[in-house]
Amino acid sequence: MKVLVTGGAGFIGSHVTDQLIAAGHQVVIVDNLSTGRVSNLNPKAVFYEMDIRSPELRKVFEQERPEVISHHAAQMDVRRSVADPIFDAEVNILGSIKLAQLAIEFNVRKFIHISSGGAAYGEPVYMPCDENHPVQPLSPYGASKYTFELYLYIFKATAGLDYTVLRYPNVYGPRQDPHGEAGVVAIFIGQMLRGKPVTIFGNGEQVRDFVYVADCARANLLALEKGGGRVFNLASGVGTSVNQIFEALKAITGYPDDAHYAPAKPGETFRIFLDAARAQQELGWRQTLDLTAGLQQTVEYFRQVELQSSGG
């Protein structure tokens, strides 16, 4: 089938694209390259350099007629959402609504929306958080991602647009930006391999649920045919602290120094990990690569690709 992947030049979206193409599907990518990279693009995909808010998006639907949308394009920086909540809402809510309206108009069969398990729940009432956990985000990013989930519920009820929501954990792996604001694993590896200081914001005891990117990408393939009208956490079900990530990567890379600590950033949850039992039961999804193996593969990628391409 033909799948439109928004954000398909980005870290996670490019892995989704690769897996879709490997499974025999046609892929159309829309990405404005604000954080995505041309080097991430699969040469077998059709690529439109475009913002999802652009009036030109209609032409993509007229030309390509996608059957399914996998919606990864987003303003994904929690800190930026706190500093500029209007921009966050323009992209994550209004841009997504525009995309959904075109999906309805052009009879798209399924809309897969990438939401946030880490940011939507806020500071947990209980852990691991399942999909019935109260949604009480601490950042505009978490609020905007969840708000569009509600719009999809409405669009299904009023216009028949089928959808599946995937609430991602902290995703890590090859192609993550080591210079960005999001992605502690990539940032740490980038600094360690260059012999530069590593800064941990807060005391490092913040706990997250880390899942390797290929596992999260695979859930998109499963959602092509399953999970209609449902919300799913993707998760390892295990909490890992930032300090533990630092120590594991220090051991893998041979980094000789200790971390520097700086004040915590506003809007970020302190401790969270998720329950993925529903995804296992209804999608047939589970994590296949554990954290130790995933970190080793990610470090190897950065050694072979990122350092070489940057001349480091």
Backbone angles phi, psi at 106, to 5 degrees: -100, 20
- Catalytic residue, chosen from 48, 121, 126, 141, is 141
The question of whether 48 is a catalytic residue gets the answer: no
What does the H/E/C string look like for the chain?
Answer: CEEEEECCCCHHHHHHHHHHHHCCCEEEEEECCCCCCHHHCCCCCEEEECCCCCCCHHHHHHHHCCCEEEECCCCCCHHHHHHCHHHHHHHHHHHHHHHHHHHHHCCCCEEEEEEEHHHHCCCCCCCCECCCCCCCCCCHHHHHHHHHHHHHHHHHHHHCCEEEEEEECEEECCCCCCCCCCCHHHHHHHHHHCCCCCEEECCCCCEECEEEHHHHHHHHHHCCCCCCCEEEECCCCCCEEHHHHHHHHHHHHCCCCCCEEECCCCCCCCECCECCHHHHHHHCCCCCCCHHHHHHHHHHHHHHHHHHHCCC
Q: Tell me which residues are annotated as active site.
A: 141
